[in-house]
Amino acid sequence: MSRIGKLPISLPKGVTVNVSEKNVITVKGPLGELKQALDPGITVEVKDSNIIVNRATEQKRHKALHGLYRALLNNMVTGVSTGYKIVQELVGVGYKASGNGQLLELTLGYSHNIIMELPIEVKVQTTAERGKNPTIILQSIDKQLIGQVAAKIRSFRKPEPYKGKGIKFEGEMLRRKTGKSAVAK
């Protein structure tokens, strides 16, 4: 058995799971609803407010999918019950971010501002306090989608290793380089 796949997923209060005949799982909770199609070799059963994921055979492919779908279902349950939040910092002089509905406008030292339209499922909030770096706060119920959006935002200006300027995740430790050292004559 897969060490991750064999673990049951406990359902918090207010979260319901529905398995359709076409092997599509629907997870509903207080924050929203998520769906996931499953491989035919994987079965899901709900017992005593726990989700149990089983596989049909001991094939290598089914073993790999066993842990994968258990992790995806766990992320769905967590998402609809508590949600996900990613905080990013803009480090650099003149770097700014402003969120207006589903539009995020970034000023990152390029000749033009970057305007990014976010998916409906992702909510954005920006803060700019005096003496602190501007921050972008993303919130969603879909872990995969919020991670993809955060990676796209970071790709506009990755942190560079000498001064640390760029977009980084909150709490991220960057490897810094020393730069040129003075040459003795």
Q: Which domain holds residue 47?
A: 9-81
Out of 53, 81, 109, pick the residue that ends a domain. 81
Over the chain, what is the mean pLDDT?
A: 92
Angle at the Cα of 18 from the Cα atoms of 15 and 22, rounded to 5 degrees: 155
Flag whether 3 is in a domain: no
Flag whether 179 is in a domain: no
Going by the DSSP 8-state scheme, the letter that residue 117 receives in this structure is: E
Rounded to the nearest 10 degrees, how much is the dihedral formed by the CA atoms of 138, 139, 140, 141? 140
Strands of the 42-47 sheet, one edge to the other: 9-10, 50-55, 42-47
Residues 13 and 35 in one domain: yes
Flag whether 133 is in a domain: yes
Out of 81, 104, 122, pick the residue that ends a domain. 81
Angle at the Cα of 16 from the Cα atoms of 10 and 18, rounded to 5 degrees: 110
Residues 14 and 39 in one domain: yes
pLDDT in tens, 105-118: 999 999 999 999 99
Report the number of distinct structural domains present in the chain.
2
pLDDT in tens, 56-67: 898 999 988 999
Closest C-alpha among 31, 33, 70, 36 to residue 53? 70
Out of 17, 50, 81, pick the residue that ends a domain. 81
pLDDT in tens, 11-21: 999 999 999 88
Flag whether 122 is in a domain: yes
Q: What percent of the chain has pLDDT over 90?
A: 78
Flag whether 105 is in a domain: yes
How many CB atoms sit inside 10 A of residue 72's CB? 18
Amino acid at the residue 99: G
CATH, residue 58: 3.90.930.12
Residues 29 and 47 in one domain: yes
Phi, psi of 183 (to 5 degrees): -95, 125
User: What is the pLDDT at residue 182?
Assistant: 57
Residues 74 and 94 in one domain: no
Contact 97, 134 (CB under 8 A): yes
CA gap 185, 2 in Å, rounded: 63
Residues 98 and 77 in one domain: no
